[in-house]
Structure 1
């Protein structure tokens, strides 16, 4: 690009923002389902309160993900409009999402094993 702006304010930033919103919404809905289903299948009464923890953590993460994605998009748009690619946000949000999903998989496996062995 010779002499032009670095940033084309097309629909790509909006699509990315919508994708992050859908991801946060999916985590929130999955967490609500976990809050509804996990206590119903609790194998032992002494663990009944612990079955709520994954759903509550998931709801909290969904809200934080939504807010962080909005802040990231505002920062990204500001950096691109100022033609300063050195201020572009990193991949921290994606790393956080990956770690959350891996943690959910580990907790799900542990809860499944608890339910099977009880």
Structure 2
């Protein structure tokens, strides 16, 4: 400790957080693939488009989480805290994407029910 700066705990917290984000990205990819497989008989080519969008979201999530982990590690090494860290944009983006996916699924279910 020099100049009153406090060094962060060099534990594995940033690495665990990065791995958790990667698992979330992989889960989104698996969900997109499974959803595509289940929706092809109903939606046809639309299911493939939805699946590709889901895979794109999963890729963006993994890349964003890697970038976020690097920024968090750099902030912890420089400042000792996350006050100037990566912020909550990735979390907000995931929440918005999940909400939109849920609304789209609800629309598909309602439209399928009305088509009967």
- What interval of TM-score do these two structures reach, taking the shorter chain for normalisation? 0.7 to 0.9
Q: Do structure 1's residue 74 and structure 2's residue 75 form an aligned pair?
A: no
TM-score normalised by length of structure 1? 0.86
CA distance in structure 2 between the partners assigned to 1:68 and 1:105 by the alignment: 22
CA displacement, residues 26-61 of structure 1 (integer Å, 9 cap, x when unaligned): 000000001111012x1xxxx532232322111100
User: Paired residue for 1:102, among 99, 102, 108?
Assistant: 99
Q: What's 1:48 paired with?
A: 44
What's the offset of the Cα at 1:4?
A: 5.8
Q: What's 1:111 paired with?
A: 108
CA displacement, residues 53-82 of structure 1 (integer Å, 9 cap, x when unaligned): 322111100000000000000011001101
Aligned length: 113
CA distance in structure 2 between the partners assigned to 1:4 and 1:92 by the alignment: 28
CA distance in structure 2 between the partners assigned to 1:52 and 1:116 by the alignment: 22
Q: What's 1:8 paired with?
A: 9
What's the offset of the Cα at 1:6?
A: 3.6
Q: Could you say what the CA RMSD is over the residues aligned between the two structures, in angstroms?
A: 2.0
Segments of 5+ residues of structure 1 without an aligned counterpart are none
Q: What's 1:22 paired with?
A: 23
Q: What's 2:33 paired with?
A: 32
